[in-house]
Structure 1
Amino acid sequence: TTLRLIAGLEVATSGRIVIGADDVTALAATDRNVSMVFQSYALFPHMSVLENVAYGPRVARRPRREAERAAREALAGVGLAELEARLPSELSGGQQQRVAIARALVLEPSVLLFDEPLSNLDARLRRQMREEIRALQRRLGITVVYVTHDQEEALGVSDRIIVMNHAVVAQEGPPRDLYEAPADVFVAGFMGEANRVKGVLRRLDEQRGRVTIGGLACTLPHRGLADGVVDVAIRPEAILIARGAAVDGTLRGTVSHAAYLGSRMEYSIASAIGELFVTSAAVEAPLSPGATVALTLADHGITLIRP
């Protein structure tokens, strides 16, 4: 809905939509200088690649030669200059995505909108296209609004992320801030896996506090929370695993599930503070279910959250 409001495809019932210094709230979609790349690509199957990209300039009543010249420049910008004569059905998914991007860019928009553009691609191609979209944005210096439900995409393409919950902004900021210091339970879960556990906070000064979590302790920004029981979000990679029995300053755990995922291991570990989801890059020496481990905390990936 947010994208459709920016594009002028939905009518705003309150508030304003400002692009640059211009209030475009009352303008028609055709007068906003905004282009959108749809999830389905929306290419015309009977038109060649060149004709698809030149369609926008032609609708804008630009001469055919000028429209085709602009289309060729846009195709060259996405690395498809040699495929201009092909039909969409003769292209791979990634190539179709590039055509859709070229068609959006040929109109030289002030804002480029992406509506979950990579959801139809496989994992390898999603990563490749994510990098290409980011490089394209940096090269052109254009404002991009990119909607996705994929946390890795959000982190990978953004300078700034806005997480929305039922049409209300839950948190906004740089990717690292949202991942490492989520504002609440919803943001913590949306921005990736997080273990939510209870801890006891004792404020040390105006900024930081000491948090005890079972047999573990760490110093964190207290984020204005009062002393007492608090909710703590711990990222899976922030829990460190050592073989053997627990000693002072560690937490005893028992591996209940282990999964090998190539570049990392994923574990479910039963502990006194609950079942913990833990990831480890130590794939060369995996732990087996039933193994006893000692857990400690890293100096990152741990934050106090509001319920």
Structure 2
Amino acid sequence: MSRAAEVRFERVWKRFGANSVAVRDVSFTVPAGTLCTLLGPSGCGKTTTLRMIAGLEYPSEGRVLIGGRDVSALPPAERDVSMVFQSYALFPHMTVLENVCYGLTVSRRPRREAEAAGRAALDSVGLAGFDARLPSELSGGQQQRVAVARALVLEPSVLLFDEPLSNLDARLRRRMREEIRELQQRLGVTVVYVTHDQAEALAISDKIIVMNQAVIAQEGTPRDLYENPASAFVAGFVGEANRLPATLRRLDGQEGEVRVAEARLVLAHRGLPDGPAELALRPEAIAVLPAADPAAMLSGRVSKAAYLGGVVEYTVDTGAGEVFVVSPASAGAHAPGEPVGLRFGTHGAALLPGA
């Protein structure tokens, strides 16, 4: 495996025609040997950003650097990157080994050497002994591993994934994302990974870059983004979040008292002034209690309840509006129409800047 390389964007723009901006003045750094996910809704610019790393698109302005080298105008073959596509793009008439060795073959690597490298790459993804099979004889997860092996055999310094799990069912998706993460950590390669699946991004990433409308909305660790969203968009996109009207009274340089209807809690005020504010509250940060429980902070009435096995999802009507709660099923059940009390935890609660 080649040495992992840092990826850096410096004020990159990408325009398609006179009036269409796909990426607007974007700057970020992916440290060498880490897994960074570009996360966002369709049309936000994440795939265009990935394609500019790969050399499949060129920036209209700004610079793309890999390992400190400006590659903005270089073709894909000169960038030392490999890409795993959403469709896997396997050749149906070639065997697994021929698919994996294809890049080495076209670069005129001796056949015996290419096949040895191909078998080693297949072994690294758990497909030793699958050499002679055709793609049609493999499961979706196995095809995805072949695509990864084909990318790895070229020993890239940066490995790119374009929504590689979107064609798999939920259980296989979970297993494959764990395998990709384990492989990245074992090999130490730099990975840039595109997805619109928030759970996938949270599960595998060292760093997440959330994009919206061609710009970066926020970047940071999964925990940073989940617990301290920088905007209402990030709070709602990276996991579920209740957005409740609140009033802030600063207590000191760090914390403030936040009032949500009759509820009170103390949180980091994040530099916001006294007055109207908006609270982002994660559904799992709320406990549903009997209405008379003295620990209840906010009263309400259950309007919907959905049993999902390990958890129960509630919608509760309160003086602050509808509140969505995800409660452990072991905590007991509350029926629609039942009066309840809600208790807020401070873990999973954050004031939204700019609210």
* Distance in 1 between residues matched to 2:308 and 2:171, nearest whole Å: 15
Map 1:240-255 → 2, pairs under 5 A: 240-245=287-292, 247=294, 250-255=297-302
- 1:139 is matched with 186
In the alignment, what sits opposite 2:253?
Answer: 206
8 A contact 1:253–1:269 mirrored in 2? yes
CA distance in 2, matches of 1:298, 1:249: 11
Matches of 1:284 and 1:235 in 2, distance apart? 18
1:161 aligns with 2:208: yes
Contact 1:215 1:248 in 2 (8 A): no
Partner of 1:279: 326
What residue in structure 1 maps to residue 306 of structure 2?
259
Q: TM-score, normalised by structure 1?
A: 0.98
1:6-155 maps to which residues of 2 (within 5 A)? 6-155=53-202
Alignment check: 8 A CA contact 2:177 2:200 kept: yes
Q: 1:284 to 1:212 in 2, by over 3 A?
A: closer
- The root-mean-square deviation of aligned C-alpha atoms, in Å, is 1.2
CA deviation vs aligned residue, 1:174-220 (integer Å, no higher than 9, x gap)? 10010011000110111011000111111111121111111211111
> What is the alpha-carbon distance in structure 2 between the residues aligned to residue 263 and residue 104 of structure 1?
39
Task: Considering fraction of residues, name the structure with more strand.
Answer: 2
Aligned CA distance change for structure 1 residues 76 and 58 (closer, same or farther; 3 Å): same
Residue 298 of structure 1 deviates from its aligned partner by 1.1
Q: Which runs of 5+ in 1 are unaligned?
A: none
* Displacement after TM superposition at 1:246 (Å): 6.1
> By how many angstroms is 1:162 displaced?
0.4
Q: 1:249 & 1:73 partners in 2: Cα distance? A: 59
Find the aligned partners of 1:183 and 1:244 in 2 and give their Cα distance: 34
Give me the whole-angstrom Cα distance separating, in 1, the residues matched to 2:49 and 2:237: 18
What do residues 228-280 of structure 1 show as CA deviations (whole Å, max 9, x unaligned)? Answer: 01011000001111123365862111111111111211111111100111001
Matched residue count: 307
Structure 2's unaligned 5+ residue stretches are 1-47
**More relative contact order in 1 or in 2 (CA 8 Å, sep 6+)?**
2
Secondary structure in structure 1 of the residue aligned to 2:243: strand
What secondary structure sits across from 1:16 in the alignment?
strand
Structure 2: distance between partners of 1:280 and 1:194: 14
Instruction: Tell me which residue corresponds to 2:242.
Output: 195
Q: Read off the aligned partner of 2:303 and give its amino acid letter.
A: S
For each residue in 1:137-165, what CA deviation from the matched residue of structure 2 results, as whole angstroms up to 9, or x when unmatched? 00000110011100100001100000001
Moved over 3 A (4+): 245-249
2:296 touches 2:341 (CA, 8 Å); kept in 1?
no
Counterpart amino acid of 2:145? R
Partner Cα distance (1:105, 1:249) in 2: 54
Give 2:276's aligned amino acid: V
Distance 2:70 2:54 in 1: 13
Residue 236 in structure 1 maps to residue 299 in structure 2 = no
Query: Identity of aligned pairs, percent?
Result: 64
| 2:231 aligned residue (177, 184, 191) | 184
